[in-house]
Amino acid sequence: MRTVSPCTSYFGHAILRVRPNSTRGSASRVPSQRSTSPHGDRATLPAAVRGPGPLARRLYQLHARLWQDVVGEDLTGPQFNVLSVLDAEGPMDQRTLGGHASLDKSTIAPIVERLRQRRLVDVAWNPQDKRRKLLQITPEGRELVTRLTPLADEVGDRMLAPLEAHERDLVLTLLQRIVEQRSPAQDPNRIPDTGRTEHGRP
């Protein structure tokens, strides 16, 4: 079995305004009150735009674009993850597979069905529990994931190309810590992962 390889400056300030002072006849500068605009406090906008959410979205878009350029249409990213897990870990039920691939039930099901239709995975009965089905990679699936693994590694290398070697390790370590702060399999309130590429295909 194969081992799965390990993804204008704005400064907040108080706006000053001048207003007349009836007792001294001079003008004083006082900070303006916080905007009550329905659009919110503009000083908070840059932090929101530069925050982890938008950056994660841009990182995903970069990965999807590179995946399309390097790997192409043979497999989507989520499909490759599913096959890689089955290749590395062996047969397992669909729920366990979804946990290993970080995909929820509503996402893993159509991915498995598409791979099954392409004869890249097989469905068999669990010999220890006849009520449960096991998913296993087929020889065709193993050949495909083996052929695409160097290309998938290239996608990762291109994403991290601007970084030095030690910076790459640090970024991956920090990202791993972020995503593992709460395991998706243990979080019943998680937002489902669409498991789709930029082209909307599972």
In a domain, 123, yes or no: yes
Q: Rounded to a whole number, what is the distance in angstroms from the first to the last CA of the chain?
A: 25
In a domain, 61, yes or no: no
In a domain, 52, yes or no: no
CATH number at 156 reads 1.10.10.10
Tens of pLDDT, residue by residue over 34-79, are 445 455 555 566 777 778 888 889 999 999 999 999 999 899 999 9
In a domain, 35, yes or no: no
Count other Cβ atoms within 10 Å, centred on residue 138: 17
When mean pLDDT is compared over 13-17, 78-82, 101-105, 129-133, the highest value belongs to 78-82
In a domain, 14, yes or no: no
Question: Distance between CA 165 and CA 168 in Å, rounded?
Answer: 5
In a domain, 25, yes or no: no
> How many domains does the chain divide into?
1
Tens of pLDDT, residue by residue over 107-162, are 999 999 999 999 999 988 777 776 778 999 999 999 999 999 999 999 999 999 99
Instruction: Give 51's Cβ-side CA count (13 Å radius).
Output: 7
Which pLDDT belongs to residue 126?
73
Beta bridge pairs of residue 135: 92, 123
Name the 3-class secondary structure at 76.
coil
Which pLDDT belongs to residue 119?
96
Calculate mean pLDDT across residues 67-95. Answer: 93
Q: Write the CB contacts of 53 (distance below 8 Å, at least 6 apart in sequence).
A: none
Position 189 confidence tier, pLDDT thresholds 50, 70, 90: very low
Q: Are 83 and 121 in contact (CB under 8 A)?
A: yes
In a domain, 164, yes or no: yes
Q: What range does the domain containing 132 cover?
A: 75-181
Q: Are 6 and 175 in contact (CB under 8 A)?
A: no
Name the amino acid, one letter, at 189: N
Which residue do the tokens 């050949």 mark? 143
In a domain, 165, yes or no: yes
Both tokens of 134, joined, read 């096991």
The answer on pLDDT for 20 being more than 70 is: no
Tens of pLDDT, residue by residue over 21-37, are 444 444 444 444 544 54
